[in-house]
Amino acid sequence: MDKNAKIYIAGHRGMVGSAIYRKLTKEGFNNIITRTSSELDLRNQVAVADFFADEKPDYVFLAAAKVGGILANNTYRADFLYDNLQIQSNIIHSSYLNKVTKLMFLGSSCIYPKMAPQPLKEEYLLTGPLESTNEPYAIAKIAGIKMCDAYRQQYGCNFISVMPTNLYGYNDNYHPENSHVLPALIRRFHEAKVAQADAVTIWGTGTPKREFLFADDLAEACYFLMQTYNEEGLINIGTGTDVSIKELAELIKQVTGYSGAINFDSSKPDGTPRKLMDVSKLESKGWKHRINLEEGLSLTYQDYLDKLNKTVLV
């Protein structure tokens, strides 16, 4: 990518989009275009079409999405399906119409079947039933992958799809009901420490295993792949290692300095038993993550405290 190329980051205020923005500015790119959701509703086909026709971006990072944890995914099933289908369909089609040089579509590890063999290889896509709690979101992301492939096959568009594992880091969402497990636990352990609570209760049994990638590492991988990867299908982005939810809780307890007990409510759903990415395809191309979980958690907790000092978290 030329340093003067016009680059559109869809979702630049989210955790992923903001990490990509930081990476590009650090590398000296000076023609990055963004729009907030109040400035441009990505679900609005006409608005997106007009935006692309006016701006004519050269490169697009499609990081905008409606996201959330198990509760949000399972509660707002229609919203997660409709909003994500609209966002990605509008951006992918307008990118084709306006001859975007290259588009990167960011998906999620939840696209893989619930009981797929571990670690998850790219070829396991569509080989079995999905996890029911986040099926609408997964189906939308699978549709995005297939759209990129279809536009590549029919029109010759250089649209690529990358599938990050579970992400965390700066600018995460700490909402008590709609956030993912890691930021939700950071908030709960911090609040328990402040309140001097005797225990923190966590959903499920604590046995499911999850892989976590620091968002700035993801941005590094996206920058690398935008310049080197030009294939159909998808490519996993992750660390290739995982921890149990119980182990994660113990790490967050340590990082936040909470001294109480940890209880698990086994009446609540666990979700997928394990979601570990096979990252051999990515590593064979020359990229590997740098930030380990302990370091990343410390950086994330400090970011949470900084936000807490600036405003009241909702």
How many angstroms separate the CA atoms of 314 and 305, rounded?
Answer: 14
Domain assignment present for residue 267? The answer is no
Cβ proximity of 193 and 256 under 8 Å = yes
Q: What is the DSSP string of 88-137?
A: HHHHHHHHHHTT-SEEEEE--GGGS-TT--SSB-GGGTTSSPPPGGGHHH
Domain assignment present for residue 218? The answer is yes
Q: What are phi and psi of 245, to 5 degrees?
A: -60, -35
- Kindly give the interhelix angle for 181-195 and 245-256, rounded to the nearest 10 degrees: 40
Domain assignment present for residue 108? The answer is yes
How many angstroms separate the CA atoms of 295 and 230, rounded?
Answer: 32
Give yes or no: 112 in active site: no
Domain assignment present for residue 134? The answer is yes
Give the mean pLDDT of 307-313: 74
The CATH number of residue 156's host domain is 3.40.50.720
Write the single-letter amino acid at 18: S
Write the single-letter amino acid at 303: D
Total count of domains within the chain: 1
| pLDDT tens, position by position, 7-36 | 999 999 999 999 999 999 999 999 999 999
How many angstroms separate the CA atoms of 137 and 71, rounded?
Answer: 13
Torsion of CA 196, 198, 204, 208, to 10 degrees: 70
Most confident of 63-67, 101-105, 309-313: 101-105
Q: Which secondary structure element, helix H or strand E, spans residue 72, and what is its range?
A: helix 70-75
Give the mean pLDDT of 264-289: 92
* DSSP designation for 12: T
Annotated binding site: 11-17, 106-109, 141, 164-167, 180, 188, 203, 210, 270
According to the model, what pLDDT value does residue 155 have? 98
Q: pLDDT-derived band of residue 227, with 50, 70 and 90 as boundaries?
A: very high
How many angstroms separate the CA atoms of 108 and 167, rounded?
Answer: 9
Domain assignment present for residue 183? The answer is no
Percent of the chain with pLDDT over 70: 98
**Which residues have a Cβ under 8 Å from the Cβ of 285 and sit 6 or more positions away?**
224, 225, 228, 229
Tell how strand 159-164 and strand 235-237 pair up: parallel
pLDDT higher than threshold 70 for residue 314: no
Domain assignment present for residue 181? The answer is no
* DSSP designation for 227: H
**Which residues have a Cβ under 8 Å from the Cβ of 246 and sit 6 or more positions away?**
206, 207, 262, 264
How many angstroms separate the CA atoms of 267 and 261, rounded?
Answer: 19
Q: What are phi and psi of 107, to 5 degrees?
A: -105, -135
According to the model, what pLDDT value does residue 311 have? 67
Give the residue numbers spanning the domain of 234: 7-172+211-240+273-291
| pLDDT tens, position by position, 186-207 | 999 999 999 999 999 998 999 9
Annotated binding site for NADP(+): 11-17, 106-109, 141, 164-167, 180
Cβ proximity of 140 and 88 under 8 Å = yes
Q: Is the pTM of this model over 0.85?
A: yes
Give the mean pLDDT of 135-160: 97
Mean pLDDT estimate for the chain: 94
According to the model, what pLDDT value does residue 313 have? 53
Domain assignment present for residue 98? The answer is yes
Q: Which of 8, 112, 137, 151 is catalytic?
A: 137
Domain assignment present for residue 251? The answer is no
How many angstroms separate the CA atoms of 221 and 175, rounded?
Answer: 27
